[in-house]
Chains A and B, each alone.
Chain A
Amino acid sequence: QKEVEQNSGPLSVPEGAIASLNCTYSDRGSQSFFWYRQYSGKSPELIMSIYSNGDKEDGRFTAQLNKASQYVSLLIRDSQPSDSATYLCAVNDAAAGNKLTFGGGTRVLVKP
């Protein structure tokens, strides 16, 4: 069974600070990694994709991937109250390219 692990939180951060979310995965052959944001009662929306080791930045979001350590992280800079949500890490199944395994999610609370 492929596993993706996240700290469930809540991760409480003051407005304007950096939120740092972590995710570890068990499938060493995984090649695609995604972060989704899910507001309460809503469906997940994609915020970042990353495929290569290193950092990828998109606006206030930075994804970091380290395949050797089987670790992917998400940084949210200048956190806003609207960033309060659950963030889901998803990793592809190396044996079935598009099939994803999701972590349980990290709940983030940004306090004004």
Chain B
Amino acid sequence: DGGITQSPKYLFRKEGQNVTLSCEQNLNHDAMYWYRQDPGQGLRLIYYSQIVNDFQKGDIAEGYSVSREKKESFPLTVTSAQKNPTAFYLCASTGGLFQPQHFGDGTRLSIL
């Protein structure tokens, strides 16, 4: 089945550690997105990529980094510079201009 796969489902970060969240899609979508959701809040855009080897900062990019080396993959690294990383992280993709975004199941990140 086509879809977006995020892993792991739960992740724990130690102080000073970088962690990487995986997002893979087999929908042949060009555009991919990373969002952060804090409890009781809406989604805030971290980074997005419209095409392979290109990406742009969203509204809250500080402390995060991404890469887009393959169309199917858009990993997000939460660096040690992100002092408050505890949140629900959602990856999404879309297949064309003005089309809706579809989401993976999310990764819940906590601090140890």
Contacts and interface: CB of A to CB of B under 8 A. Distances in A.
Q: Which of B31, B35, B40, B98 counts the most A-chain CB atoms under 10 A from its CB?
A: B98
Interface of A: 1, 4, 6, 8, 31-32, 34, 42-46, 49, 51, 88, 90, 92, 97-105
Contacts, number: 57
A99 B104 contact: no
A8 B40 CA distance: 9
A105 B3 CA distance: 24
A98 B94 contact: yes
Interface of B: 31, 33, 35, 40-45, 48, 50, 58-59, 90, 94, 96-106
Listed from nearest, the 5 A-B pairs whose CB atoms lie closest are A104-B42, A32-B98, A43-B103, A102-B43, A102-B42
15 contacts: A1-B59, A31-B98, A32-B98, A43-B90, A45-B103, A46-B101, A88-B43, A90-B101, A92-B98, A98-B96, A98-B98, A99-B33, A102-B35, A102-B42, A104-B42
A8 B101 CA distance: 22
B43 A98 contact: no
A31 to B, nearest CB: 6
A105 B35 CA distance: 15
Contacts of A34: 100-101
Given A43-B105, A43-B106, A44-B103, A51 B48 contact: no
Contact of A104 (B35, B41, B45): B41
A111 to B, nearest CB: 21
A46 B100 contact: yes
